[in-house]
Amino acid sequence: MAFARPRLAQISGLRFWKLLGSGHGSGFSLHPNWSRYGLLAAWETAEALENFFAASSLMRVYRHHANEIWTVRLLPIEVRGAWSGVNPFFPLTSPIKDGPIAILTRATIRLSRLRAFWSAVPAASRALDEATGLLASIGIGEAPFYRQATFSLWRSVADMEAFAYRTNAHREVMRRTRAENWYREELFARFVPVGSEGKWEGRDPLKQTLC
């Protein structure tokens, strides 16, 4: 993944990108998963995206080495905050009332707040694993321990909001985040999935919901 940086910097129409490692399990983890990686990309046009998947030598390398590749196409419907000083997700599309939704949260954690952050992770992760309507989730990050993100897919907006606002463990994390000023930079984004392909742990988690 690290060797992809020069290639990604030269791809036409690629507005913003991040190469991401992952942890074990479905949420944050102090134990890296050395076999699972992510590429987050924001594109100027749909044509640029399709050209990348059809003709990029980088994608050929990934397909050659990977046992699984799963790709999801997303349109942003709400974005707050910044990632590396910018908001990479625009323009916004119309909010949805029903159907699947994807959530991305990421933050640069203050070094003085690392202990507090990681001490809160186990309870929040258990709550996420037990959440109704969760289709898939993963903890990802740019750097170990302090640049962390989560990506999750939900069956509906109602399921996602029930977890976010009515689950005690998650509500307590949100409260402490603000009260104790955990993050130096953060971003929260909601997306509507408009297409997916491939497999994630043996299946496409959006196959039934997007049919």
Where residue 180 sits, what CATH number does that domain have? 3.30.70.100
141 lies in a domain?
A: yes
- Beta-ladder partners of 73: 195
159 lies in a domain?
A: yes
Q: Which helix (H) or strand (E) holds 184?
A: strand 183-198
State residue 211's pLDDT score.
59
Peptide bond into 122 cis (omega under 30): no
15 lies in a domain?
A: no
191 lies in a domain?
A: yes
Residues 105 and 182: their CA atoms lie apart, in Å, by 14
The count of structural domains within the chain is 1
Question: Which positions ≥6 away from 186 have C-beta within 8 Å?
Answer: 81, 82, 105, 106, 107, 108
145 lies in a domain?
A: yes
54 lies in a domain?
A: no
Residues 23 and 25: their CA atoms lie apart, in Å, by 6
State residue 26's pLDDT score.
72
State residue 143's pLDDT score.
86
Across the range 177-206, mean pLDDT stands at 96
Residues 118 and 45: their CA atoms lie apart, in Å, by 38
45 lies in a domain?
A: no
CB 206 within 8 A of CB 193: yes
138 lies in a domain?
A: yes
Q: What is the mean pLDDT of the chain?
A: 93
Of 20-24, 89-93, 184-188, give the lowest mean pLDDT range: 20-24
Residue of 94, 109, 113, 193 whose CA lies nearest to 153: 193
- By DSSP bridging, strand 70-81 and strand 101-109 are unpaired
Q: What domain range is 98 assigned to?
A: 25-33+71-198
Residue 24: strand, helix, or coil: coil
Residues 61 and 187: their CA atoms lie apart, in Å, by 31
pLDDT in tens, 75-113: 999 999 999 999 999 999 999 888 999 999 999 999 999
Residue with tokens 């290639």: 7
